Amino acid sequence: MSYRRGALIVLEGVDRAGKTTQCMKLVQALQQSGRPAEMIRFPDRTTKIGQLISAYLEKKHNLEDHTVHLLFSANRWELEPMIRQKLEQGISLVVDRYAFSGVAFTSAKPGFSLEWCMSPDVGLPRPDLVLFLELNPAVAAQRGEFGAERYETSEFQKAVMQRFQQLMKDPSLNWQVIDAAKSIEDVHAEIKTHSEEAAEAAQHQPIAELWK
């Protein structure tokens, strides 16, 4: 049976690495090459759970650390049926952050193991490609607006970066590290090449489950 599903492509990185700009450019490029594609982002601040998360990030509301971790995960699970449906309809999804941000940010807090942080996201659709936009946290801090939301300090971002590096050792995922200090167009060209390859390979494979 021929199977032509869309690809699940995730962009990750520390804050201010340019993920959102690159997601938008990638969606446009995929569409122009004739592949239906849409962008989604996590947290999705539009849902009820997303509004709680947003108030927490904007420091308008405090939440206990385990609680907010589980809310970030719940915010992915509430969109899981839509993600699966779109992929099965042949639409590729470009995702601005996913479970890897969830694990990297919470496990950068004292007392949280990677294993505990990963468990609520086990079984989500597994990305076909995870692009990690690598940028020195000190350079990221100079890119403006840094410090407005929770977690936006160079010290915390350094701890987040170390957690991402641990997650990247997982051979069950297709991680590609991109140097985000390059120009927007150079970064885009690299991302596009990896994404087209991953989309070609994904179309004949069933959707796998993350960390299973």
Asked if residue 105 binds ligand NYM (CB under 6 A), the reply is yes
Strand 129-134 to 92-96 pairing:
unpaired
Q: 155, 196, 206, 177: which is closest to 33 by C-alpha?
A: 196
Positive/negative CA dihedral, 18, 128, 5, 74: negative
Please identify which residue in 15, 44, 128, 134 interacts with ligand NYM, judged by CB under 6 A. 15
Q: Is 97 in the site for ligand NYM (CB under 6 A)?
A: yes
Q: How far is the CB of 34 from ligand NYM (least distance, A)?
A: 29
Residue among 43 and 125 whose Cβ is closer to ligand NYM: 43
What is the rounded distance in angstroms from the CA atom of residue 201 to the CA atom of residue 90?
Answer: 13
- Single out the residue of 72, 132, 164, 175 in contact with ligand NYM (rule: CB under 6 A): 72
Q: Single out the residue of 102, 120, 125, 137 in contact with ligand NYM (rule: CB under 6 A).
A: 102
Q: Does 164 bind ligand NYM (CB under 6 A)?
A: no
Residue 57 near ligand NYM by CB under 6 A: yes
Task: Give the CA-trace dihedral at 100, 104, 107, 109, to 10 degrees.
Answer: -140
Residue 43 within binding range of ligand NYM, rule CB under 6 A: yes
Name, in order, each residue with C-beta under 8 angstroms of 19's C-beta and a sequence gap of 6 or more.
Answer: 11, 12, 13, 96, 97, 133
Residues that bind ligand NYM (CB under 6 A): 15, 42-43, 57, 72, 97, 101-102, 105, 151
